[in-house]
Amino acid sequence: MELEGKVALVTGASRGMGRAIALKLGRMGARVAVNYVAVDPQNEKDAQEVVAALQAVGAEAFAVEADVRDGEAVKRMVDQVAEKWGGLHILVNNAGITKDTLLLRMSEQQWDDVLDINLKGTFLCSKHALKAMIRAGWGRIISIASIAGVIGNPGQANYSASKGGIIAFTKSLAREVGSRGITVNAVAPGYIRTQMTGVLPEEIRAKFVEMIALRRPGEPEEVAELVGFLASDRAGYITAQVIGIDGGM
């Protein structure tokens, strides 16, 4: 129960890595706000299922809706969490999308959508969460980047740019807020078995596995273990870092 007394907000937590991260933080004793966006009624159902799973392991949790691209919505979400539980100590910027295609075929809308959710959303959530962390004199901001933001990936210029932006953002913000007792780090997963990667053709997935030293995809729970460590006091002297979790890809 390393995180007992701490309040966590996980964006895009209704499925995949976000779900696994929310459950990990809850098992570590944190109160967890499960963010989702109401573009699909299924998202709310999934978020409520995550809340129920958290409560089943003894964690306090509730679902909170907000589009991370919308500054006012993000502010309302953070205020709602802080008012409910008296603060906010841990932010996991997990919400993200892909809209893959070769650059010559990529529309401005495909570029904007990915950058707005992945990168602008990280900026907005971090900005609004920081106030509560500064008041507490303790905070953890952990953003989900990607190996694509480190080495690039064909057909993912928009996604790679957004994740590379998160890496640079992480390093800059860590240097702004370190004196306030707040650490800022990024996690860069490789090929993780989620709904997002599940839509890839089988031959593409097989090629990814061939590139991985461990010869298998990662699991969301493995990413969650790393995030849980970074959220804890054990990682109190780790900041401005980008930690790969890619099986040796």
The mean pLDDT value for 29-58 works out to 96
pLDDT at 20 over 80: yes
Spatial contact of 179 and 130, defined as CB atoms under 8 Å apart: no
* Amino acid letter, residue 115: L
* Amino acid letter, residue 75: K
Sign of the four-CA dihedral 66, 72, 76, 77: positive
- Annotated active-site residue 36? The verdict is no
List beta partners, residue 7.
Answer: 31
Backbone angles phi, psi at 34, to 5 degrees: -100, 105
Single out the catalytic residue among 36, 159, 191, 237.
159
Closest C-alpha to 16, from 111, 114, 97:
97
Above pLDDT 70, what percent of the chain?
Answer: 99
Q: What is the pLDDT of residues 133-190, one digit of tens each?
A: 999 999 999 999 999 999 998 999 999 999 999 999 999 999 999 999 999 999 999 9
pTM: 0.95
Q: Which domains does the chain have, with CATH numbers?
A: 7-245 (3.40.50.720)
Cα gap 231→28, rounded to integer Å: 10
pLDDT at residue 206, rounded to an integer: 84
The mean pLDDT value for 190-197 works out to 82
Above pLDDT 90, what percent of the chain?
Answer: 87
pLDDT at 55 over 70: yes
pLDDT at residue 40, rounded to an integer: 86
pLDDT at residue 198, rounded to an integer: 63
Contacts of 137 (CB under 8 A, 6+ apart): 180, 181
